[in-house]
Amino acid sequence: MTQTINKKTRSLPVMEHFYTLQGEGYHQGRAAYFIRLGGCDVGCVWCDVKDSWDISKHPSVELNELILQIEKTPAKLIVITGGEPLMHNLDELTELLQAKGFETNIETSGAHPLTGRWDWICFSPKKFKAPLPGISAVANELKVVVFNKSDFDWAEKFAAEVSPSCKLYLQPEWDKAEEITPMIISYIKQNPQWELSLQIHKYINVP
């Protein structure tokens, strides 16, 4: 199915938005307001938010209305995710958020051109649709989901491209965590430049 992306940046298709704790990666445990945008053409077979893929299923929300909802919470950190959020131009959203003093983070596969102004870029490349050149150089965090043993080589491919200051994380795919986590632990012990990322929000039952 061909998806039509809303070119107007005054509004974006929002699957859901909520105040919770960041469960993964470098900012794990921090209070964060998540904005999950609709639309994804990456197609990970193990994706846990496949309902996000079809843009047409998600209502377009005015950016100013979205910010009003955020301001009802004590949130300081805003995480833009998806789906694949870079299917949309995020310049205006991040400008509005930063003008209000919010910290802006993004979680992206890098499969679309980078837009927006970011305090932190979490780059999570996927085999199902390769990232564009250039995203590695600006990533603050490389987070690779490990589904099978070949994903370690995939992770090292991008670790060689990111900056020396980029944080490196390996994260077990949730449904295979019992099998994969011991493999990751062993790998990190042999390759201590990597760290373990766990989806703690799923363990503590928060969104």
Sorted by where each begins, the domain ranges of the chain are 11-203
Q: What is the pLDDT of residue 68?
A: 97
Let me know: does 100 contact 67? Beta carbons within 8 Å: yes
Classify the C-alpha dihedral 194-158-36-67 as positive or negative: positive
Q: Omega before 134 cis (within 30°)?
A: no
pTM of the model: 0.93
11-203 is classed CATH 3.90.1150.10: no
H-only helix segments in the chain: 63-70, 91-99, 135-138, 150-159, 177-190, 200-203
| pLDDT mean for each 10 residues of the chain (207 residues) | 50 97 97 97 89 93 97 98 96 97 98 97 94 95 96 97 98 96 98 97 89
3-state DSSP call for residue 85?
Answer: helix
CB 143 within 8 A of CB 149: no
DSSP for residue 130: P
* Preceding peptide of 101 cis, ω within 30°: no
